[in-house]
Amino acid sequence: MGKTDACICAAYAFAPAVIVFCRFVAKEPMRIILFMLGAFFWLCSLLLTSIIWRLIGTFYEAPTLISVFIFVVNQEIARFLFFLFSQSAYDSLIKLGTSNRIIIPEIRLLGADSRHTFAFVCGLGFGTITCFFSVANVVADLTMEGVPGLPASLENGTYPGGRTYHDVDVPYAYANASSLLLFLNVCWTVLQWDSCHKYFSTAKATPPTEVPSLWWLGMVFGIVSHFANTAISLLSPGGYHWYVLGGQAFIFAISVALTLSIIDFKKPDSYVSFFLAPWCNLVHCRKSEKTSVSTSAAEITVNSPAIPNKSKSGPPPEAL
């Protein structure tokens, strides 16, 4: 039963992300590379937080709130540094992919009109690794006897040492919260990178232009909502996990609405065809490959010269 619960929680956390990955990322190799880079920068922020936490721990035992605050700050720093790194690489890739000598279709997709797609893919990698580390302890503890989450972070005597009737649904709420956190990171990346792009693009423009009004809105909202989401999640061990999930869903709804307004999202004619288009294209490509392979094999058979049958070998013509 524990392994079944673990599989269900993993499906809750990653099933939406898998659908989005197959729809927007898997079809282009360049986007897969950007996806992995986003995960790498998040891991760098985790490493930096671990080093700082270890240094602080040598002097005194830091409370959980300070550790979480440092981690959120490091994540935002890593997100901003990722923007600076990707922006320099972005300009170089665009010049390389749109030059007259070299034409790379995957890089041409990263044109000026698709900078939000660029941020979306990077944010998806950033959020996927966040979701993995958030839900990994829950999935691991469900397969054995233990407390969901990080038992070392629970104060002795404050919270129960095992799962009770009242917290039996904590893993499911936690898995859904991790899935929301994944897509929240996508929204935060798009919002903050849009603000950074508006600021730096006007600074580099010739002649200089004025910075758009409210260019800072995405940056401020992304950082504030990240701290708010983290602060709400700290209430989960007290038995308020469903209230926490509701608050995080409210933050997610506002983030999605603001993100869609910034990227000027146009409603598709059919959401079913919108998400199933990659699978239909994949099936069509496989059928085309099978048809081309069978056609090539038939052409080789027709055009190949006849090979004499040597099994019934007789005497050479000279002997006759």
The 3-class secondary structure across 130-196, one letter per residue, is HHHHHHHHHHHHHCCCCCCCCHHHCCCCCCCCCCCCCCCCHHHHHHHHHHHHHHHHHHHHHHHHHHH
Range with the lowest mean pLDDT among 13-17, 148-152, 287-291? 148-152
Token pair of 71 as six digits: 């981690």
pLDDT at residue 59 greater than cutoff 60: yes
pLDDT at residue 61 greater than cutoff 50: yes
Higher pLDDT, 125 or 210: 125
pLDDT at residue 179 greater than cutoff 90: yes
224, 160 Cβ separation under 8 angstroms: no
Contacts of 9 (CB under 8 A, 6+ apart): 135, 138, 139, 142, 171, 172, 174, 175
Residue 311: pLDDT band (50, 70, 90) is very low
Cα–Cα nearest to 185, from 230, 231, 243, 236? 230
| Strongest mean pLDDT among 140-154, 172-186, 189-203, 254-268 | 172-186
Residue 251: pLDDT band (50, 70, 90) is very high
Higher pLDDT, 58 or 232: 232
Q: Which pLDDT belongs to residue 213?
A: 81
Q: Which pLDDT belongs to residue 154?
A: 46
In this prediction the pTM is 0.76
* Alpha carbons 233 and 240: distance in angstroms, whole number: 9
Task: Tell me 306's DSSP state.
Answer: P
Mean pLDDT of 34-54: 92
CA 51, distance to chain mean position in Å, is 25
pLDDT at residue 320 greater than cutoff 50: no
